[in-house]
A and B are shown apart, each in its own frame.
Chain A
Amino acid sequence: MQPSALEWMHAPERGSVLLARFMVWLVHNVGWWPGHLLLFPIAGYFLAFSPRQRRVARAYLGRALGRRAGLRDLFRLYFAFASTILDRAFLMAGRTGQYRIEVQGLDALKARIAEGRGCLLLGAHFGSFEALRAVADAGSPVEVAVMMHEANAARLKAVFGLMGASRRQPQVIPLGTTESMLQAREVLERGGLVGLLADRAPRGERMLPLPFLGAEAPLPTGPHLLALVLGAPVMLAFGIWRGPRHYEVRFEPFADPPPPGRAGREAAVADRVRRYAARLEALCRRHPYNWFNFYDFWAERGR
């Protein structure tokens, strides 16, 4: 297994389970404002005590900002990340009243849903997945399922367990098994939405090295191949953190259902990964503090 793959599985979000527990406690006992104020020491703490993540975050920020990233930039990134974790607890609890969530592209998504063939939503570890899900779930007349790595699915389930049984749990499809792929097909066949994050691969396979923010980075081809095999339309989806309790949720058209058959598939996959990378790159430049891949994304170590 590649070291980078191991790295994100074992050290994805430092102390994030503990943090998530704490956030859930805040939701129930304290409220958003005190939680928000606590984010300052929390972000400072993680910034101070995660030298490895700090190094890769600084490298990313330098690329996205086009200049050397300072401590202030790092703090903004860490603060945004901690904010999304705090907000996740509130959004999962359905306490969205105080939130400003602007939605772009919902009509395009609704048009896709109306076609009845389902739609694959490709996101990234960028901004808040929970803000995205809150919109997709609340606004969708069809079922919404999320494909994720089993460890993350277990973590999400644990947090939902902490929230009590009041909230509807998202339908989670664990990645990587035969069943999971069949399950995704069945959701699409029922006209549902299947979301998955397409910027990381759980294993080192099916990656394509592409120019991304100025250097070559390995990007997974699996999600795009899956879309082509399933013959599903694809939209991109992002929940961008714009500031305290302020999100911009974007649904963007990406690809129509492909013609049946394998002809030209390899080229189609490569083209899609390239377009996905280009779009993600543009978002990183525009909203640099939303990037939450705290690992060696460019696989630069040992080069």
Chain B
Amino acid sequence: MSAGPMTPTTELPATRLLPEELEVARLIVSALSLEVAPEEIEPEAPLFNEGLGLDSIDALEMALAISKAYNVKLRSDDERNHRIFASLRSLTAHIEKNRAR
């Protein structure tokens, strides 16, 4: 599964956001009232701890905002969670793959 939606990212410079990534970035910034411009989020930097500095309650709030906006439910028993929540890029890929259109 990892090969599919992730392929385009390898051809882009790491710092450029795809349009759908920017959309998710905007959602996260507004849902968590972050003091950072959505455009400035590094797509492949970690969201938690050393990256954006989010904690587990932020993660919950982010998950709630995502399920509301995209109807993509993030579940506790998904063993891919670690990869899904790793970065803006991986999170967006997961949303794009699972969203109800």
A interface, CB within 8 angstroms of B: 175-186, 205-206, 222, 225-226, 229-230, 262
Contact = CB atoms under 8 A, between A and B. Distances in A.
Contacts, number: 47
A48 to B, nearest CB: 40
B76 A230 contact: no
B60 A229 contact: yes
Nearest to B62: A178
Given A178-B85, A182-B74, A262-B33, A229 B61 contact: yes
Given A181-B60, A206-B57, 18 more contacts: A176-B56, A178-B59, A178-B85, A179-B77, A180-B76, A181-B56, A181-B63, A182-B60, A182-B74, A182-B75, A184-B60, A185-B60, A185-B63, A186-B75, A226-B57, A229-B60, A229-B61, A230-B60
Contacts of B77: 179
B55 interface: yes
B56 A180 contact: yes
30 contacts: A175-B56, A177-B56, A178-B48, A178-B59, A178-B60, A178-B81, A178-B85, A179-B76, A180-B56, A180-B76, A181-B56, A181-B57, A181-B59, A181-B60, A181-B63, A182-B60, A182-B63, A182-B74, A182-B75, A184-B60, A186-B76, A205-B55, A206-B55, A206-B57, A222-B57, A225-B57, A226-B60, A229-B57, A229-B60, A262-B33
Contacts of A222: 57
Contacts of A185: 60, 63-64, 76
Interface of B: 33, 48, 55-57, 59-61, 63-64, 74-77, 81, 85
A229 B76 contact: no
Interface of A (DSSP majority class): helix
A186 B60 CA distance: 11
Contacts of A186: 75-76
A206 to B, nearest CB: 8
Given A205-B55, A262-B33, A179 B60 contact: no
Contacts of B64: 185, 229
A185 B75 CA distance: 9
A4 to B, nearest CB: 19
A205 B85 CA distance: 21
Q: Which of the listed residues A178, A180, A225 has the most CB atoms from chain B within 10 Å of its own CB?
A: A178
A298 B15 CA distance: 45
A179 B48 CA distance: 13
Contacts of A182: 60, 63, 74-76, 81
